[in-house]
Structure 1
C-alpha cells in the first residue's frame, strides 16, 4: 500500500478527525467516487473527495511536488462545480515529505485570464501537538514539526495503545508505521510499534495480501519464462516485456495455452490479445 493510499484510507475512515484538522470542526462527510464527477477518471490514485449537503472537500496527499498539481486543482474544481453548483468547494493539498522545491508553496493556478486558488499544507511545518489530539491524526505526527521524530513516534505508540477499539487501534498503528517510513528507519519503526496490534488492521492485512500476491506473481513469471525459453528459445525484448506485464491470472492462462501456440508469431498474437 502506497503512502497516498494510506492517507486516503485515513481520510475516508476518520473523516471527523480529518475535517477537524482541515476545517476546524468535525464534519461527517461521505465519500464521493471520482467517477461520480464525470465519466472520465480523475486522479483516482491520489484524490480524496468527500461531500455533504453544503460542501465538497477535495484533498490531495502528495509525497513529492508535481508541476501539474495546480491544474489538477482547477480541473477538479470545475468538475465539482458543474456537478453540484450549489455546493462550496474546498481544496487542500497536503505535502508529506519535506521539500525545498518552490512547487510546495504554489497555491494558485494561473493561465491567461483564469485564476484559481487552493490551500497548501506542508506537514513538516505543522506542530506535532496538533496531530496527537485525535486518533485519526496520530499517523501524521511523526511527519510534523518535531525535534525528535523517534521520541514523537514513541509518544504516538503509547497513545495508540490507549485506543479502545481493536480494529481502530490496529488501523492507526499500521498507518503510522507506513507513514513513518518516509522519515525513519524501518527497523526502528518495528521496534517501537507492536506488530500484534497492527495485525488487527485491514491496512496491515492489505499489505500482507499484496506481498503474497507479488510473491505468486514472481513465481508465476519465473515458471512461464522458463517454459517459454524451453519451447521457443531466447525471445526478443519486446516479447519478454509483454510477458512481464501480464497479471497472475494471465500468466496462469499462458501456462495452459503454451503448448497450443505453434510458434513465436502465435505467442505474440496471444500476448496482444491478453494485455
Structure 2
C-alpha cells in the first residue's frame, strides 16, 4: 500500500506533504537487506518506512534502522526520514526504543503506534483504510464494521479488492478470524462487488476454493516485497497449502526479513499439507 500510494503515506507521516513521491528500490547493496518501503519525496528527501508486528527482532531493530540509514545515505546523499510503524500493541512491560547509541554513535528514528492513533484519518482515506482496524477505539467491533462499510463504497472495483484484502490481513492481528470473515466477507458485504468477486472465483470449484485462491494470490504478491524473489519450487509448496495454512502464512510473513524465514516457516507448518482445500 505504501508503494502504491506513496504521496498519501507521506502526507500522513510528514508535516509538509511532498509535491511528488517516487518509489525507490528496496533492496540495499552490500549484504542484501530489504526495506519495507523507500520513497523519494519531491526529489529532496527519502521517507523510509518499516512495518513491525513484534518489538523484539533479530537482528535488533535499532541496528537495522542504522544500517538502512547508512546504506540509503551512501547511495542518495539527501536527508532521510525513517518511521517505524508498529501494528500490534506489545505486552505492557515492553519498551519500544527509538534510537541506537554506542559511545559516540547516535541514530534516532520516529515511531508510530497504531493502537494510539485516531481511526478517523484512516477511515477517510482508502489508501490508509487497512490500518483503521488497528487504531485506537473503545468499540473495536463497531470500528471494524465502519471499515467494512467504507470498503464497500470504494471505487473502482480493482482498488476495492486490493484494499479489502489488505484490511482483512491487518484486521487479523486484532480480531478473531470468524469476526473478520463475518464483517469483511459476509453480512451486508454480501451485496458488495468484493463478495461477488469471491463468489465468481469459486463457481467452478466451490466457494472455499475461491477464497483459497484469493489468499494464495495475495500472498504470492506480498512475499517478494518481504523476502525477495521466491523460487519456483517454494511457490509450488505454497500453492499446496490449505486455506487455514495460507491465513497463518499471511500473518507470519509480516515478520519475515529474508527467504530463510519463509523456508523455515514452511518446514514447520506445511509438512503435512496435501493441497486439498478445507471443507
TM-score tier after normalising by the smaller chain length = 0.5 to 0.7
Report if aligned partners of 1:104, 1:122 keep a CA contact under 8 Å in 2: no
Partner of 1:30: 22
204, 207, 228: which is aligned to 2:215? 207
1:65 Cα deviation from its structure 2 partner: 0.5
Report if aligned partners of 1:66, 1:103 keep a CA contact under 8 Å in 2: no
Q: Does 1:160 align with 2:151?
A: yes
Partner of 1:197: 194
Tell me the distance in 2 between the aligned counterparts of 1:28 and 1:205: 36
1:27 and 1:132, CA in 2 relative to 1: closer, same or farther beyond 3 A? Answer: farther
1:119 and 1:104, CA in 2 relative to 1: closer, same or farther beyond 3 A? Answer: farther
1:187 Cα deviation from its structure 2 partner: 1.1
Partner of 1:61: 51
Partner of 1:40: 31
1:101 and 1:57, CA in 2 relative to 1: closer, same or farther beyond 3 A? Answer: farther
Write out per-residue CA displacement over residues 106-125 of structure 1, whole angstroms, 9 at most, x where no aligned residue: 11110111001100111101
Tell me the distance in 2 between the aligned counterparts of 1:148 and 1:168: 27
Tell me the distance in 1 between the aligned counterparts of 2:170 and 2:119: 14
For structure 1, the 5+ residue unaligned runs are 1-9, 220-241, 246-275
1:82 and 1:165, CA in 2 relative to 1: closer, same or farther beyond 3 A? Answer: same
Tell me the SS of whatever aligns to 2:63: helix
Partner of 1:94: 85
Q: Does 1:182 align with 2:182?
A: no
For structure 2, the 5+ residue unaligned runs are 187-192, 202-211, 221-234, 243-263, 268-279
Partner of 2:101: 110
| Structure with more helix by fraction | 1
Write out per-residue CA displacement over residues 182-227 of structure 1, whole angstroms, 9 at most, x where no aligned residue: 11011111111137616579xx9662245994475579xxxxxxxx
Partner of 1:148: 139
Partner of 1:72: 64
Partner of 2:3: 12
Tell me the SS of whatever aligns to 1:71: helix
Larger displacement relative to structure 2 (19-28 or 120-129): 19-28
Aligned length: 209
1:82 and 1:31, CA in 2 relative to 1: closer, same or farther beyond 3 A? Answer: same
Write out per-residue CA displacement over residues 69-121 of structure 1, whole angstroms, 9 at most, x where no aligned residue: 11111111111111111x11000011111113666531111011100110011
Report if aligned partners of 1:30, 1:50 keep a CA contact under 8 Å in 2: yes
Report if aligned partners of 1:109, 1:115 keep a CA contact under 8 Å in 2: yes
Q: Which has the larger radius of gyration?
A: 1
Q: How does 1:123-272 map to 2 (within 5 A)?
A: 123-194=114-185, 197=194, 199=197, 207-209=215-217, 213-214=236-237, 217=240
